[in-house]
Amino acid sequence: MHTYKNVPLVAKFRLLRASTAYRGGLGFANARTKARTVFTPTAIECKKKSGFASEILNKTKEKVQNTVNGREENGFQNRKALKPGTVTKMRKVYEDTLKPHYAETGVLPPYNDAKYQFARTLDEIEGMRKAGLLAAEVLDYAESLCKPGVTTEEIDEKVHLMIIDAGAYPSPLNYGEFPKSVCTSLNECICHGIPTPDETLLDGDIINVDVTVYLNGYHGDTSRTIRVGKVSEQVETLCRVTEDALEAAIKIVKPGVPLRRIGATIHEIADKHKFGVVDKFVGHGVGKEFHSGPTIRHHRNNDPGTIEAGMTFTIEPMLTIGGTRDIMWKDGWTSVTADGKWTAQCEHTLLVTDTGCEIMTLSPAKKALGDHLIRGAR
């Protein structure tokens, strides 16, 4: 996922963590939580730091204060550059909710790219289906919230409540000390944006909402890029091509196909439309563990490995209008494009069948409307 000295760390959330130790109380206030005992992850009050501008620019103080991540505030689509905001306390979950192993400590196991996850028994397949369906329902709900004037903090709060009220655990919460229940990546944010009360959606924005739930011992993982109001033609094309790339990649998934064909398929479509393909972040195995092998690269590659029946993994291409080089914020999670150009991503969890694959995270709302099952709202 994150490359350090050309060594890829391939788990989706496995980023280099900031060296600062965080401490702080946690809280979640909602009337519905009072009737049940709540569990608080033992973790952090992870606050986003100011941007890297003061460290990477040798300019006047006035100039530095008007820059973020080394570039001017007003940039692509006449939008101000994203800035780190104040990260509020972690939300609580019900004490009787089945939780993943990292929920209390935030400590992750070593990532094993050679360890694949499979769903072969009826119980395993049904467990994955239920987790995938809940994740899809939550993402549909999150999309309905993405309107001008809404903050990403509000999205996180409402999504969190829907997940815990369904008897599930929000998988990102305290995963490697990630401080929120969902990732909200706005405009030039490639992935892993942390919701804050300072980040307000505007008409014409795009936002990727990445939802993962842990239900009855299984993770279901999905995301899409949502258009907020009316977006520009260029941005709409970016979103559509990203969705087309995911769809094309899903269509070639079946036993015996080399894993590297997924990346080649995506890259070919991106090239046709002159979009960049982010190679720093990858898809991954998913199931009883949040992240495992196989590593699913979305760009052309020579990785070994063949798709097998029963495998469960995600495909989640990230395409950019400009360059693919990123800047990582000091929070250790938020990745933004270095040139400030916008980026789109969409993701599904798949189960490989004998003849193809089953999409475990199809949108029930879009299916009911007869809409495309991968695309976001337009």
Name the residue type at position 110. Answer: P
pLDDT at residue number 173: 98
Q: What is the pLDDT along the chain (378 residues), one digit of tens a residue?
A: 333 333 333 344 443 333 333 223 333 233 333 345 566 675 433 333 333 222 222 333 333 333 344 444 567 988 999 999 999 999 999 999 999 999 999 998 888 899 999 999 999 999 999 999 999 999 999 999 999 999 999 999 999 999 999 999 999 999 999 999 999 999 999 999 999 999 999 999 999 999 999 999 999 999 999 999 999 999 999 999 999 999 999 999 999 999 999 999 999 999 999 999 999 999 999 999 999 999 999 999 999 999 999 999 999 999 999 999 999 999 999 999 999 999 999 999 999 999 999 999 999 887 776 666 666 543
Percent share of the chain, pLDDT over 70: 78
Helices (H) and strands (E) in the chain, counts: 7, 21
Please state the pTM of the whole predicted model. Answer: 0.83
Tell whether residue 219 is among the known ligand binding residues: no
pLDDT at residue number 295: 97
Domains and CATH numbers, the chain: 2-49+84-369 (3.90.230.10)
Q: What is the DSSP string of 94-107?
A: ETTS---TTTTT-P
Cα separation, 87 vs 183, in Å, equals 13
Tell whether residue 291 is among the known ligand binding residues: yes
pLDDT at residue number 16: 34
Q: What is the pLDDT of residues 101-113, one digit of tens each?
A: 999 999 988 888 9
Tell whether residue 137 is among the known ligand binding residues: no
Closest among 369, 319, 328 to 49, alpha carbons compared: 328
Name the residue type at position 105. Answer: T
Give residues with Cβ within 8 angstroms of 170, minimum separation 6: 93, 159, 160, 163, 164, 181, 182, 212, 213, 214
Both structure tokens of 374: 């991968």
Determine contact, residues 86/79, Cβ cutoff 8 Å.
no
pLDDT at residue number 365: 83
Tell whether residue 143 is among the known ligand binding residues: no
pLDDT at residue number 202: 96
HSE-CB at 90 with a 13 A cutoff on CA atoms is 28
Tell me the chain's radius of gyration from C-alpha atoms.
Answer: 19
Give residues with Cβ within 8 angstroms of 67, minimum separation 6: 51, 53, 57, 59, 73, 81
User: In terms of DSSP H, where are the helices of the chain?
Assistant: 53-56, 61-65, 122-145, 152-165, 233-251, 260-272, 364-369
Taking the alpha carbons at both ends of the chain, their separation in whole angstroms is: 29
Cα separation, 56 vs 66, in Å, equals 13
Burial of 347 per CB tally in 10 Å (0-12, 13-18, 19+): buried
Tell whether residue 188 is among the known ligand binding residues: no
Cα separation, 327 vs 318, in Å, equals 15
